Structure 1
Amino acid sequence: MVKAHESINIQLLKFLSKQYPTSDTAITEIINLQAILNLPKATEHFVSDIHGEYEAFSHVLRNASGVLKPKIDALFMSELSERDRRSLAMLIYYPEKKLEQVIKKEEDMNDWYRINLFRIIKLCKVISSKYTRSKVRKALPTEFAYVMEELLSEQIDAHNKEQYYNEIIERIVSLNKANEFMCAFCYLIQRLAVDRLHVLGDIFDRGPRADIVMDIMQKYHSIDIQWGNHDILWMGAAAGSAACIANVIRIACSYSNLQTLEEGYGINLLPLATFAMNCYKSTDCSLFIPKVDEEIDIKKDDTELIALMHKAITIIQFKLEHTLNQRCFDPTMKERDLLHQIDIQSKSITLEGKTYELEDVDFITVDPKDPYKLTKEEEQVVDRLVYSFIHSAKLQEHIKFMFSKGSMYKVYNNNLLYHGCLLMSEDGNFQTINLEGRAYYGKSYLDKLEEIVRDGYFNHNDPVTRQKGQDMMWYLWCGRYSPLFGKSKMATFEKYFIQDKACSIEHRNPYYSQLETVELAKKILKEFEITHEQSHIINGHVPVQVKLGETPIKANGKIIVIDGGFTKAYQKVTGIAGYTLIYNSYGLQLASHQPFEGIQKAITSEKDIVTTMNVIEVVYSRKRVKDTDIGKDIMSQIQALLTLVEYYRLGLLKEKEI
């Protein structure tokens, strides 16, 4: 017998007794929780480096990275052709759009509804079998919950209830509710196929609509985010950092992607456009012609205007960053101030003792005597842009979501998740960073950075602390000691203006050269006190160049890099269209995806993303809830309830009448 009354806080037990007023109610919950521990572990889904590709992202969520189609095949192989199984899969992924298509060509919709409702319910039963009825019930739409629960809990071929079951289906069809029920079951299948979504950073930039990606994430039932360097840049911009704002707009101009800013977040770019046309119209902007997706039709006039804006905001960025470079905790950032080193007469610049010819020195707003001073017109543009970012309600809503669901890293079910890297030295030890008078490395450095970043957005009482936080968000975007960036420098100036690309090489942190070593994985996992034999490090950030033979599986499977080029801008480099990772009760599966040709084409041609599954790790004993973080919490709850029952039996707490 546990002498609970000698060690347990009586106040906590009194609080628990309000929910379980008798020993019988407590024992009932213990039985329930003990049973839950033996359910199969729910499926986790890992994605990374989405970069605004909302259609492809939405699709891999709907098809659970290709997991749903094999379940359809296994269940209906004997009764449906491959074509019919593809059609059923597309119905589950896009129920409303697919139903519109079916209604146009089917002669007897009522019969079609009956047949396909039975099929979808059959699949839904399989998908929901690893969850408790209570959890499934909570996922049901309120208006259809009772009927859907009945259909899921009853056996279709049970003799005593066969007519009852069939009658429910018949009434759904005859009362013209088949469409609604069909959609509800399809979305329930999507919801239950994946229990938890992990997003390993870089939601923003490059792709067409990062705001739509964020909308999708906000509606997702269970999600966590590990910030990427592109995300932290937008977080800094939303906080009001002018340097972050300039970078955000420059990248948007570079990829001819102003939709997220203007349509998604209502950012007013007219002041910048007007300024650029007035100041840069007569200058050479050939280096600033945006990268244009071949599938997007952009008028010549629009391209020319974006090039003007691109050049104008780039020069503004260099000026704004000067102040941050000078006050940065990292003294090497001063080396990134390059405007004052330009020799206008010879159109050259000397870097690290070598002189390079510049392809453009037509910087009309740069005063050689004071190159980092904003002109009056530039100041006005910056002020109006900062105001627009700070007062964008949609942007602020999304960034608050990034803070509430996001962090620098996450430990979940014995796996360590982060976007970029842990800073390492060449000798294989953690790199030590001096910050605010203290030395940090590994986990402590990430924790300190997150603390500073949160102050940069939320601390409205201390302007100095808030400013430091915003400066840190910018530094995490481009600094040498940023674990989100992980490179020696961000050579923006060199890439724009110097043809000799040797000077624009951004050397990676030694972490990346050590990725193949098991020693690195063990050292990092130990730093985060993760000791489980089947633990992994999962990160993104650097695209895996599959076409060059590179593999995402590092360090004998202990490290998995899942950035395979989700965004179209990277697909020529990687050779694929992204990796996603599935972790279910049977082990780990890595899915590599071919380019997605669009939602409309997927529906009309019933063509799914071509996905190749690679089994990384198979567990010998199927993982159960008791093997997860949730299982640990449940076991703690069981222990507390057992103590409560003992208190009741010893008379130390009085049972209440129900």
Structure 2
Amino acid sequence: MGNTITKSEYDALQRKHLEVLSEMYPSIAAASTEIINLQAILNLPKGTEHVLSDIHGEADQFFHVLKNGSGAVRAKIDDEFGNSLCIRDKKQLATLIYYPAEKLDLIEKEEAELDDWYKITLHRLIQVCKRAASKYTRSKVRKALPKDFAYVIEELINEKEEFINKEAYYNGIIDTIIRIGRARAFIIQLCELIQRLVIDHLHIVGDIYDRGSGAVEILDHLMKYHSVDIQWGNHDLLWMGAASGQESCIANVIRICARYGNLETLEDDYGINLMPLANFALETYADDPCELFNVQYHGDSDALSRIEEQTEMKMHKAISVIQFKLEGQLIKRRPDFKMESRLLLDKINPEEGTVEVDGCTYKLLDTLFPTIIWSDPYQLSKEEEKVMNRLVQNFKNCEKLQRHIQFLFKSGSLYRCYNKNIYYHGCVPLNEDGSFREVYLRGKGYKGQALYDFIEQYVRKGYYLPESEAEEKTYGQDLTWFAWSNENSPVFGKEKMATFERYFLGEPEVQEERKDPYYRLIEDERVCEEICNNILREFKLNPEDGHIINGHMPVKLKKGESPIKGNGKLFIIDGGFSKAYQKTTGIAGYTLVYNSYGLKLVTHMPFESLERAIIEETDICEDICVVEKLLERQYVADTDNGQILKRKIGDLELLLKAYRNGELRENAEK
């Protein structure tokens, strides 16, 4: 009852709202023009959404998929030219749009009649650009135009060549561009504009960071992308926690970089000084071969000397031991995380060289632990403390890292409901019967959407709260680590993270990381559709036309797995973008394209090299499958943004009424 407002209070609030609106639209003419404009926009086709997941630092593959829009560019070429262009010409035009500067370098060397080629190509590019721009208002296209050629491109894509009065004008522009030596620059700008217009919005469903070395380059590009949202993956959250200064997250980040030969991301790209760790590792593990800590290089490992490789192995072991100690401290101070089973250092018998895991005793493959005090195994040595203090300061004070993490906070979230679909990285934690699992944190139970919202709120607190609010800030930082590795985390989805077991024990059964019931249940077609419907309803979406787009778990096509579940309700689009997964999956990832006609699932093959893509004009879109064709084409009016525009039209119509009935006075001077 206390929240109910009277009619007079409501009328006063509405009048105040209209007065604010009148500042922007001070006259009947201004309000009417905006209504007409917004109503027209509602009748434009829905923009194309492009969905990528689990990039894992693989920059070359990421950029290739982004440039071709998962086949969207080629589709525009096919739509525009049909059978009037041969396949060879279409492939060349598509490759030119993807890599204009590099492709031009080859063509300009090989083409005998270059001016003729320029003229033909410019006409073709302008036709493709016209088609790509046709979904948008002139105002939106104008904002996307490159500064150097904005006026010229606007003239070319808005003029109709068949009008005889304009034909000479149109051709004169192209001839002049060629004659004054601006064809190359113009083609490059036009190709980049086509890439920009083909995709209206980009979704990244988690894990930008991890094994590959290109995460920094990818984030630099995403920060400049015209429209993007990001659903945080467990690896993204790990880096976010590290940037906040959370020690366990920092140790995990460095360990993973060391494991996959990717320390240059930290040292070269972010400028984080790892020398204190290197010096400590060389001194402490001088006589230890650290054989269990081999580095899995994905780049050119031959370029490393044996000394460099041994140094990285020692760093790898040093930070791993530090990580296990720090995680043990965290588990002890956060009993509500319920992770006591992951306390393993105190289960080691140093005399016997064994460890007890889940009640069973196993022989350790490595028993050299020079920094562990067995009476208090989770205590850092003084030298380890010094190393961690330096690393915490380096991570917190790294300007470039902080810019990237702030972008992830600004553009990202744990989940996103957008145009009838929900996007999330891992899973909604479920019980064995398919019901939402209740997770108790700080004495209160959370499940479904509430669990996501609680974790996201505290992840943000862990980064943004001032040091003066230490209790809340520290809990938020620790909960970021929880999200990285806890069985009840929506972005992890496994019973445990068996890092210790994978390093120190040889038995496969103890290394197993059993998945959340979610992953078993979605493989059961008898129950999957109902589970999907429950999830959609939980996040306030309509099961009749909603979909779940899910990353995190690679789909093993080799084993006959399908990325489409629940009678087309659920799409798992992690198909192995990372090279590390491709032997298992048999492909190099899935992407999704959601345009005004429906949903397309695109299967990609590994990106072999930039040189092959340009010279041989190869594409990695192996298969484009229409998984849902809409009965009626979707328009802006059918989208979330369309609902916002409709509300704005309603407000403007009220403003128009207020002007006309004398409640508000026009202010023509504005």
TM-score range, shorter chain: over 0.9
**1:202 match:** 207
- 1:337-396 CA distance string (max 9 Å, x none): 111211122221122221111111111211222222211211111111111111111100
Change (3 A) 1:355 1:115: same
**Residue from 510, 514, 530 that aligns with 1:519:** 530
**1:187 match:** 192
Please state whether the residue corresponding to 1:648 is helix, strand or coil: helix
Please state whether the residue corresponding to 1:147 is helix, strand or coil: helix
Q: What letter matches 1:490 in structure 2?
A: M
Which range is displaced more, 193-202 or 422-431? Answer: 422-431
**Residue from 310, 325, 328 that aligns with 2:331:** 325
Please state whether the residue corresponding to 2:549 is helix, strand or coil: strand
**Native 8 Å contact 1:232 1:477 kept in 2:** yes
Which range is displaced more, 573-582 or 111-120? Answer: 111-120
Q: Distance in 2 between matches of 1:92 and 1:379?
A: 52
- Is 1:167 aligned to residue 178 of structure 2? no
- Is 1:469 aligned to residue 476 of structure 2? yes
**1:255 match:** 260
**Residue from 378, 386, 404 that aligns with 1:398:** 404
Q: Mapping of 1:591-610 within 5 angstroms?
A: 591-610=602-621
**1:588 match:** 599
Task: Report the RMSD for the aligned CA atoms in angstroms.
Answer: 1.7
**Residue from 375, 383, 394 that aligns with 1:388:** 394
Q: Mapping of 1:118-517 within 5 angstroms?
A: 118-293=123-298, 296-299=301-304, 300-330=306-336, 332-460=338-466, 461-516=468-523, 517=528
**1:549 match:** 560
Q: TM-score, normalised by structure 2?
A: 0.95
**2:17 match:** 12
**Native 8 Å contact 1:36 1:625 kept in 2:** yes
**Native 8 Å contact 1:66 1:611 kept in 2:** no
Q: Distance in 2 between matches of 1:18 and 1:608?
A: 52
Q: Distance in 1 between matches of 2:181 and 2:354?
A: 74
Change (3 A) 1:355 1:427: same
Q: What letter matches 1:572 in structure 2?
A: K
**Residue from 654, 657, 660 that aligns with 1:646:** 657
- Is 1:531 aligned to residue 538 of structure 2? no
**Native 8 Å contact 2:336 2:442 kept in 1:** no
Please state whether the residue corresponding to 1:201 is helix, strand or coil: coil
**Residue from 43, 54, 57 that aligns with 1:52:** 57
Q: What letter matches 2:116 in structure 1?
A: D
Q: Distance in 1 between matches of 2:84 and 2:493?
A: 53
**Native 8 Å contact 1:127 1:189 kept in 2:** yes
Change (3 A) 1:271 1:146: same
Report how far residue 78 of structure 1 moved. 3.7
Q: Distance in 2 between matches of 1:114 and 1:532?
A: 51
Q: Distance in 2 between matches of 1:633 and 1:73?
A: 34
**Native 8 Å contact 1:421 1:511 kept in 2:** yes
Change (3 A) 1:4 1:29: farther
Q: Distance in 2 between matches of 1:323 and 1:370?
A: 11
Q: What letter matches 1:267 in structure 2?
A: I
**Native 8 Å contact 2:48 2:595 kept in 1:** yes
Please state whether the residue corresponding to 1:243 is helix, strand or coil: helix
Q: Distance in 2 between matches of 1:17 and 1:213?
A: 43
Report how far residue 605 of structure 1 moved. 2.3
**Native 8 Å contact 1:5 1:647 kept in 2:** no
Which range is displaced more, 289-298 or 137-146? Answer: 289-298
Please state whether the residue corresponding to 1:355 is helix, strand or coil: strand
- 1:152-181 CA distance string (max 9 Å, x none): 100122211000111111222222222222
Report how far residue 127 of structure 1 moved. 0.9
**1:564 match:** 575
**1:113 match:** 118
Please state whether the residue corresponding to 1:9 is helix, strand or coil: helix
Q: Distance in 2 between matches of 1:322 and 1:117?
A: 63
**Native 8 Å contact 1:592 1:612 kept in 2:** yes
Q: What letter matches 2:667 in structure 1?
A: K
Report how far residue 648 of structure 1 moved. 1.5
**Native 8 Å contact 2:46 2:636 kept in 1:** yes
Please state whether the residue corresponding to 1:330 is helix, strand or coil: helix
Report how far residue 433 of structure 1 moved. 1.4
**1:89 match:** 94
**Native 8 Å contact 1:284 1:360 kept in 2:** no
Q: What letter matches 1:484 in structure 2?
A: V
Q: Distance in 1 between matches of 2:572 and 2:544?
A: 19
Q: Distance in 1 between matches of 2:261 and 2:377?
A: 28
Q: Distance in 2 between matches of 1:336 and 1:196?
A: 41
Which range is displaced more, 158-167 or 293-302? Answer: 293-302
Q: Distance in 2 between matches of 1:269 and 1:417?
A: 36
Give the total of aligned pairs: 656
**Native 8 Å contact 1:416 1:525 kept in 2:** yes
Please state whether the residue corresponding to 1:206 is helix, strand or coil: coil
Q: Distance in 2 between matches of 1:77 and 1:295?
A: 44
Please state whether the residue corresponding to 1:560 is helix, strand or coil: strand
Report how far residue 590 of structure 1 moved. 0.4
Which range is displaced more, 291-300 or 389-398? Answer: 291-300
Change (3 A) 1:92 1:81: same
Q: Distance in 2 between matches of 1:437 and 1:572?
A: 44
Report how far residue 621 of structure 1 moved. 0.5
**Native 8 Å contact 1:40 1:625 kept in 2:** yes
- Is 1:618 aligned to residue 629 of structure 2? yes
**Native 8 Å contact 2:322 2:384 kept in 1:** yes
Please state whether the residue corresponding to 1:219 is helix, strand or coil: coil
**2:5 match:** none
Please state whether the residue corresponding to 2:90 is helix, strand or coil: helix
Q: Distance in 2 between matches of 1:239 and 1:251?
A: 18
Report how far residue 314 of structure 1 moved. 0.4
Q: Distance in 2 between matches of 1:331 and 1:140?
A: 51
Q: Distance in 2 between matches of 1:112 and 1:228?
A: 46
- 1:372-431 CA distance string (max 9 Å, x none): 221121111111111111111110000000000011111000111111111111122111
Report how far residue 8 of structure 1 moved. 6.5
- 1:221-244 CA distance string (max 9 Å, x none): 000001010000000000011111
**Native 8 Å contact 1:487 1:506 kept in 2:** yes
Report how far residue 86 of structure 1 moved. 1.3
Change (3 A) 1:81 1:40: same
Report how far residue 13 of structure 1 moved. 1.3
In structure 1, stretches of 5+ residues that fail to align are: none
Q: Distance in 2 between matches of 1:376 and 1:435?
A: 33
Q: Distance in 2 between matches of 1:25 and 1:214?
A: 40
